[in-house]
A and B are shown apart, each in its own frame.
Chain A
Amino acid sequence: SQTIHQWPATLVQPVGSPLSLECTVEGTSNPNLYWYRQAAGRGLQLLFYSVGIGQISSEVPQNLSASRPQDRQFILSSKKLLLSDSGFYLCAWRGTANQPQHFGDGTRLSIL
């Protein structure tokens, strides 16, 4: 069966520090991968998606970037965090268009 892992679960970072969040999927190949952010009391905002290695589409201009160095690995990064980057970050994957999305457990990011 397929599983998705996200880490770390929680992260507290100072303003201006770098960021790296990692997401990996097991049990499938060539998944579509997604990064979302969920601000407190708000809906999910799609940040990036990827249909293959090295292929990244950005949905929202921001202080973040994404990379997909391997088929089942998706990384969310920033060179300098802003206070507004605080939130709950969720990684998701899907196979074909007819299949459901599946989410990881998320990373709670707090910027001080």
Chain B
Amino acid sequence: KQEVTQIPAALSVPEGENLVLNCSFTDSAIYNLQWFRQDPGKGLTSLLLIQSSQREQTSGRLNASLDKSSGRSTLYIAASQPGDSATYLCAVAPYNFNKFYFGSGTKLNVKP
């Protein structure tokens, strides 16, 4: 069974710092990987989707990379802002794409 791990569980950084969030998965046979942010008490907002054939995806200050062979993905946030404070989750979809496996998230706090 696929297991998804996100380390660290929490991260606190000063505003303006570049940072990296990590996501690792045990089974490299994935179809795609998706990053989300979740604000307290809210649903999940999709940030980036990386297909298994891709190495990275970019959206604004966000860049997500995927290394299937090592079972890892990273989410890079450039020039962090207080508005980036949220919990970030990754989810992997196996080739049976109707199942998704989520990590437990990294709670990010960007201090002004």
Chain A residues in the interface with B (C-beta under 8 A): 6, 32, 34, 42-44, 46, 49, 51, 57, 59, 90, 92, 97-106, 108
Contacts and interface: CB of A to CB of B under 8 A. Distances in A.
Contact of A101 (B31, B34, B41, B103): B34
Contacts of B49: 99-100
A6 B104 CA distance: 23
A51 to B, nearest CB: 7
Interface in B64-112: 89, 91, 93, 97-100, 102-105
A49 B98 contact: yes
Contacts, number: 52
A98 B41 contact: no
How big is chain B's contact interface, by range? 20 to 34
A101 B98 contact: no
- The 4 A-B pairs with the shortest beta carbon distances in the complex, nearest first, are A43-B104, A103-B43, A97-B97, A103-B44
B102 A105 contact: no
A101 B32 contact: no
B98 A98 contact: no
Contacts of A49: 98-99
Contacts of B103: 43
Contacts of A102: 46
